[in-house]
Each structure stands twice: as structure tokens, then as C-alpha cells.
Structure 1
Amino acid sequence: MDLRQLESFATVADSGSVSRAATALHLSQPSISRQLGLLEADLGQRLFERHGRGVRLTPAGQALLVHARTLLEGARQARRQLMDMNEEPSGRVVVGLPHRVATGLCVPLVERFRQQLPNAMISISEGLSLSLREDLIQGRIDLALLFDPAPTPLIVSEPLMRERLLLVAPHGTRLKPRVSLAELAQMPMILPSAPNPIRSLVDAVLLPRRIGLQIVAEVGAVHSAIALVEHGVGCSILPQSALLMAQQAERLPTALIGPPALWNRLVLAMPAARPLSRLQQTTAALLRQMDFRGPN
């Protein structure tokens, strides 16, 4: 039993077909079948049952698949660790950024990455914090910046910035420097729909106080809320950095909210179960050094 046989076995198990496994591994079908035959002969067990549409695992095959995945992942980690011992980290790192963070951060991050890691490549994945959190857990991205992620033992996070939420109103609106929580209920409001982190923060403060908002529209992302505010549809509750998405941000009236004030947190999130490679560690250090508070 060797790693090549286990890789062929696991790929056939995942695809349910020798032909699809051969395509995925860039091998011929006879080669895959030969590897499976050698593995079954070595173990003295049938691993697959053949049927008209492909193959399915036998009980022995199901038992072996658990061990095969562990051994293959161990081999991949060993390979990554040895590659990391090179003087210059190489390879590809995937970083998840919320849309409004990417607006100001993407260019300086890529520029600094290219300066410090010329032999590596960075891939930026933009999305909502909720979807980026799921991508990080599933291993589709390596690191992520997230706004107020729900706690989970699958992610390790460290705070990078706190930002106060403001009342943002259409052009020409006369606002006091500060509005109370009760006064928010008198204004037509546009908010991100739940479970957006901003909406969760607003609801966590207002609902226990039995303050209901006049919500005229719910949107999927902050930039949509800003666009509706600019067109005079209503007000919104957003962080200062969100105004960078506005076409004429300097003309949008804003006011402090509270007491109590509403704050959101930007965190650097990393997988708890997967050790970071040297490339990923260096990229995480770059992210900690970035300025998130204004245009870059």
C-alpha cells in the first residue's frame, strides 16, 4: 500500500467512477484499475462494488477511506512544510476581504505582497463576511478579514480595528450632532438584511429596548444601502468606512448615535485546524500592518 494507490482509491471513491478519477488525476483508466487491483490484493479486501453507473464503496472501502484521507493530508502537510524551508516562500495564498475593505485595501495589499513575496502569488476573494467565514471554514480561502464573525471553535480570530456606527442621511438633511436611539425610530431606514453583522449589531441594541425602526428597505450589502441613501430613499446606520463607497460622501450628513454607542469589529480570521504555512504567516503579518481607517 503506497500513497499513489491511496490517492487513486480516494479519487475513485469521491467521484464514484474510475473514468472520472482517471480524468481528475490525468491518468489512464487501466492505470487506475491496476492501482486499485494492487491495493485490494495487498489488503485482501474488495474495496468497491461495480454497478452500471460506476462504483460504490464496500464496508471495507468505507473503513479504508477514513485512513486514506488522514495519510494523504499528512503527506500534503509534510510537502508544504518542506517547501516552506526555502529561503523565499512560494506558492499561492487566498485572502478573503469584505467588499468595502477591498475598496481601500486591495491595491496597497497587493503592492506590499509583491515587494515582500516576489516568488508567490496572492489571490483576493471578495464577498460578504458571512460567506467568507464559510469559505474559510471549508478551506476555500486561507485567511480572511471579517466583520463581527459569529464565534466558532473552527476559527481563530484577532481584532484589528473597532469602528463606530453612524446615522447617515440623504443630501440636505439637517441632523443634530448626536441622535438618541429613540430618535432613530422616527426616520425611514435602509438596513442590510439579517444576518448581516451590521444588522445584528443594531438589532442587539435596539430590540431589548423595544425600539422599532421604520425600515423602508432591506438590502444585501452596504454599498446598496449607501446608493439608496444618496438617492434620498431614507437613512441608514453604517460605519464611517462605508462612506468611501459613496459617490459624494462628503455631502452625506452624518450623526453620532447613542448612548450607548454602536461599534463593529474587523478581525483577522484564520483556520483553527489547519496550521499556517510560512507564506500564509507572512501574509497574515502584512494584513496586521495595513491601515483600515481611510482610503489607501
Structure 2
Amino acid sequence: MNLDQLEAFVHVAELSSFTRASAILGRTQPALSRLVRQLEVDLRQNLLRRNGRGVVLTEAGKVLLEHSKGILHQVEAAQNALKNLQGTLDGHVRIGLAPSVARFATMALVRGFQTQFPQANITVSEGLSSYLAEWLAMGRIDAAVLYDTGETPLVDKRLLFSEEMFLISKPDAPAPATITLAELARYPLIIPGRLHAIRTLVEMHAAERGVQLNIALEIDAVPPLLDLVDEGYGHAVLPLNAILADPRQRRFRCTRIADPAIRSRVAIATSNQHPLSRLANRAVAMLESEIMPLYAARQQNIDAYLA
């Protein structure tokens, strides 16, 4: 197995076509086919299934694709680190952001990066916190801003800020100003699926108090979740940053949860298995310095929303 084989396989797999991969890589289709076939022989696994529309991944191919992206990124990172020794800060940095962070931080992050590192490139990927942790461990991204729901092997995390979670209801819903965590069981909840950090956090607090939640619907994306709350299908448990990001700028009834309060922890995370290049270290420092002022400004909007 060599890097040429992995690069060919990744492009063919992601584009689902030898023809499209050939155009991107500037190699002939027979040359790519030989590289992928030799990789299959070396690994003694069928990685792709050919059909009339192109290729699809086998189960073995799906596993290798995830690891191959990390391997190729780490090779690129090593090359960039060697270049950085010469004093230039060029290369490629990949940052992952949880969806709620991506909505308010992506533009500022890209703008700041291009200003400080004009010779370098940045890729910003959005994903659930559980996926971001996996991508870090596999070396597919350099750093991430994610929700911290506990110990994550192979990943180091540093707290950026915490957010209070509220019971979110439609504006005319009858609800007191404050409820206890035990009283949360009375409300039918529209909540993300089990891979989502918010779901993990809410269920963890409920389990600690022996509270059985009433899950009415599972919706991962926040905008349609808020649509359903607005239509009266149930209630949500979210930080108010999610409400401020509502594209329709609706007002919802926000009830404080107490005894105990539920607070989400947002952290900046890096892999403890893959060293960061000088450029990546600088980018992570910039990421932290850019996001904190943005969050502080949004906190003022939250206070105004609750007033």
C-alpha cells in the first residue's frame, strides 16, 4: 500500500467515478484502475463495486476511505511542517465546527485566517461533536470547536465557554418562568438523535436524577426543530444561541431549568496523537481569540432576549 494508491482510491471513491477522478488527478483511467486494483490485491479486500453508473464503496472500502483521508492529511501536514521550518506559514489547515458554532463563527474565522495567513489555505467542516472527535482521532482535521460531553480518548479539550440550556416553547405556551429538572418530564420533547451532543447532555442530567424524559420527536437539525416547536408539536431543550440563529427571527417562550441547571460546555479540541504544524498551532490560537469575543457579543444579545 502506498500514497499514490490511497490518493487514487480516495478520489475515485469520493467522486464515485474513475472518469471524474481521472480528470481531477490528471491521470488516465487505466492508470487509476491499476492503482486501485493493486491496493485491493495488497489488502486482500474488494474496495469498490463497479456498476453502470460508476462505482460504489464496499464495507471494506468505507472503512479504508475514512482512514485514508486522515493518512493523506497527515502526510500533507508533515510536508507543511517542514516548509514552516523555513519561516513561511503556508500550507493547509482543516478546522471542524459544531453546527451551532459554525452559524456564528465561520465568516469571522475565514476572514481572520486569510488576513493573518495569506499564503495558506483553510477548510472549515461542520459536523456533530461526536463526528468531529472521530475526525480528530483519525487525523482528518487539525482542530475542532465542539460540545464536551465527557472524556474522549485520543482528544485533548480546553474549555472555551459554557451555555445555559432552556426549555423552548411556542410563544403562547403555558409555562412557568422556571422549572426543575424533574418537572421536565411533563413536557413532550423534540430533541436531536442519540449521536447529538445536546441529546447526550440532557439525557445524562436526567439519568443522574432518575428522570424519565418524554421524547415526542427526534430531529437533528435545529431550524426544522424550531419549526415544529413553533407549530406546537412539543418543546425543545436548547441554548439560547440556537434561538438567536433562527433565520426567521421568531420569539419563543424560554423557561429556565433549575435544580440543577443544565449547562453545555463548548471546548476547543485537538488530537493528542497527531502533532500540529506551526501553522496549525497559530490557527488554533487565532480560532480561540476570534470565537471568544463573538460569543461574548452574542451573550449580550441573549440577555436582551430574556429581558
Within a 5 Å distance, the mapping from 1:127-206 to structure 2 comes to 127-206=127-206
**Residues 5 and 39 of structure 2 are in contact (CA less than 8 Å); yes or no, is this contact kept in structure 1?**
no
Q: Cα offset for 1:204?
A: 1.5
| Closer/same/farther in 2, CA of residues 78 and 268 from structure 1, 3 Å limit | closer
Task: Provide the alpha-carbon RMSD of the alignment.
Answer: 3.6
TM (norm. structure 2) is 0.71
Partner of residue 268, structure 2: 268
SS at 2:283 equivalent: helix
Q: Which consecutive unaligned segments of at least 5 residues does structure 1 have?
A: 1-8, 34-50, 59-71
Q: Is the 8 A contact 2:73 2:140 kept in 1?
A: no
SS state of the match for residue 159, structure 1? strand
Q: Which residue of 2 aligns with 1:292?
A: 295
Alignment deviations for residues 78-116 of structure 1 (CA, whole Å, 9 cap, x no partner): 643331124441111111111111111011111111111
Gaps of 5+ in 2: 13-21, 45-71, 302-307
Paired with 1:210 and 1:122, the residues of 2 have a C-alpha distance of 45
Cα pair 1:226 1:245 within 8 Å, conserved:
no
- Residues 18-50 of structure 1: CA distance to partner in whole angstroms, max 9, x if unpaired? xx9xx88969x99xx9xxxxxxxxxxxxxxxxx
Determine the C-alpha separation between the residues in 2 that align with 1:181 and 1:151.
24
Secondary structure of the structure 2 residue equivalent to 1:274: coil
- Taking the aligned partners of 2:232 and 2:280, their CA distance within structure 1 comes to 44
Corresponding residue number in structure 2 for 1:278: 278
Deviation at 1:13, TM superposition (A): 7.6
Contact 1:172 1:253 in 2 (8 A): yes
Q: 1: CA distance between counterparts of 2:116 and 2:92?
A: 14
CA contact (8 A) 2:147 2:265 kept: yes
Kindly indicate whether residue 216 of structure 2 is the aligned counterpart of residue 213 of structure 1. no
Mapped partners of 2:79, 2:132: distance in 1: 27
TM-score, structure 1 normalization = 0.73
Secondary structure, aligned partner of 1:251:
coil
Instruction: Assess if the C-alpha contact under 8 Å between 2:182 and 2:209 holds in 1.
Output: no
The residue number in structure 1 matching 2:55 is none
Instruction: Name which of structure 1's ranges 224-233 and 72-81 shifts more when overlaid on structure 2.
Output: 72-81
Which deviates the most, 167-176 or 115-124? 167-176
Larger Rg: 1
* 3-state secondary structure, aligned to 1:265: strand
Distance in structure 1 (CA, Å) of the matches to 2:74 and 2:204: 43
Give me the identity figure in percent: 31
Q: Judging changes above 3 Å, is the alpha-carbon distance between structure 1 residues 251 and 130 closer, same or farther for their aligned structure 2 residues?
A: same
Contact map agreement 1:16 1:55 (CA 8 A) in 2: no
Aligned length: 253
2:24 matches 1:10: no
